[in-house]
Amino acid sequence: MKRYLVFEDGTYFEGTAFGSDTETIGELVFTTGMSGYQEAITDQSYNGQIINFCAPMIGNYGVAKKFNESKKPTIKGVLAREITDVTGNYQSEMTIDEFLKQENVPGIRRIDTRAITLKIRKAGSLKAAIVDDLDSGLIDQISTWKLDDSQLQKSITPTPAEFAGSGKHVVVLDFGYKESIISELKKRCLKVTIVPGNTSLEAIKNLKPDGILLSNGPGDPTRHTDILPTIVELEKLYPVFGICMGHQLLCLANGAKTFKMKFGHRGFNHPVKDLETGRIYFTSQNHGYAVDAESVEDTDLKVTQVELNDQTVEGVEHTKYNAFSVQFHPDAKPGPHDADFLFNRFWNAINK
């Protein structure tokens, strides 16, 4: 069956339907990862977005739910040049087509993903609809669509969740966390408690944490301004580690500014330079907003890492308190593990 991708500017691409038979609207973004389609689909940082996969084929190793980054995906759709209907992995439980049907996510295959990527790189991220008919009434709603608070709430743990461990206690402020972040903490025998990102300072202190982790998450970080005063107080009391959205919020709390990028960073091949050591490592990234480098200069933060392609801020640390953050994902499952030492740094700060 034919299915169409219609942009807010009226242009459209034609392909073949797979996944759920629903129609939808979302922000169209592309990812350059050659693998990790399941992790991307279940990453809450993609909430409200239609993912255009640059890899020419996805689905060849199937889907196994133990590799999900969250319990339920909140993406709006999937675009792929081709998907496979036969998998070659002993751990596979279903095909990507079956998975998307199960999760009510529509997809389009045999679509020109290269042309779509080039369009986004030129015009920037655009809103688009996945429809089965060019006369669909949904097309008229594309220009007015936005990622609302009710959709964002689907990414956040509604009540505290605990993971037992024998070590120190880390409280994760959840803005749309990835399971691989929790796995890295558990590997280091840390006790973990996940709480909603808007949890009050007193409630966090009552949990008696030894460290605070600010998680990744979707959307504009300025939506979370209510938590900034809490972050200011937390960094005075505990070691703080921010990842992706958490990085942006740590910077905002200390007086820096953020901006929406033209088409963001999404993929596993982003080179980052450590300004202190000169070391360069490849990183996994997924974000559409970044920290304004000039705005950091008048704060108590210092830039520690930059992205070599566009010189955007990739890491900061506080000059007075034991707080640091990175824009990329040091957990990187799947992807390069060049930066997983940052969890050791956090561990050392907690146990100091």
Rounded to the nearest 5°, which phi and psi values hold at 172? -100, 120
> How far apart, in whole angstroms, are the C-alpha atoms of residue 162 and residue 336?
28
Instruction: Please report the DSSP string for 252-301 in residue order.
Output: HHTT--EEEEEEEEEEEEEEEEETTT--EEEEEEEEEEEE-HHHHTTSSE
Average pLDDT over residues 62-90: 95
Q: What are the φ and ψ backbone dihedral angles of 108, each rounded to 5 degrees? A: -130, 125
Model pTM? 0.96
The reported pLDDT for the residue numbered 293 is 98
Which percentage of the chain shows pLDDT scores above 70?
100
Considering the chain, what is the average pLDDT of its residues?
96
Give the model's pLDDT for residue 164.
80
Locus of tokens 């799947």: 334
**Residue 228, CB-side half-sphere exposure with 13 Å CA sphere:** 15
Mean pLDDT, rounded, for 208-216 = 98
Burial letters for 220-254: b for 16+ Cβ neighbours within 10 Å, e otherwise? ebeebeebbebbeebbeebbbbbbbbbbbbbbbbb
Nearby residues of 280 by Cβ (< 8 Å), 6 or more positions away: 271, 272, 273, 274, 308
% of the chain at pLDDT higher than 90 = 92
Question: 29, 126 in Cβ contact below 8 A?
Answer: no
Instruction: Kindly tell me if the per-residue pLDDT of 315 is higher than 90.
Output: yes
Please say if the pLDDT value at position 106 is more than 90. yes
Residue positions forming the annotated binding site for L-glutamine:
45, 217, 219, 245, 248, 286, 288-289
* Average pLDDT, integer, range 3-26: 98
The predicted structure's pLDDT at residue 337 = 87
Residue 166 predicted with pLDDT over 90: no
Query: What pLDDT was estimated at residue 146?
Result: 94
Q: What is the pLDDT of residues 222-268, one digit of tens each?
A: 999 999 999 999 999 999 999 999 999 999 999 999 999 999 999 99
Predicted confidence band at 332 (pLDDT cuts at 50, 70, 90)?
A: confident
Can you read off the two tokens belonging to residue 81? Answer: 């040049």
Q: Which domains does the chain have, with CATH numbers?
A: 2-152 (3.50.30.20), 156-351 (3.40.50.880)
Q: In sequence order, what DSSP letters do the residues of 23-63 get, joined into one string?
A: -EEEEEEEE--SS-HHHHHT-GGGTTEEEEE-SS-B-TT-B
> In the predicted model, is pLDDT for residue 40 greater than 90?
yes
> What is the arithmetic mean of pLDDT over 255-284?
96
Residues labelled as active-site residues: 244, 329, 331
Confidence of residue 352 (pLDDT cuts 50, 70, 90): confident
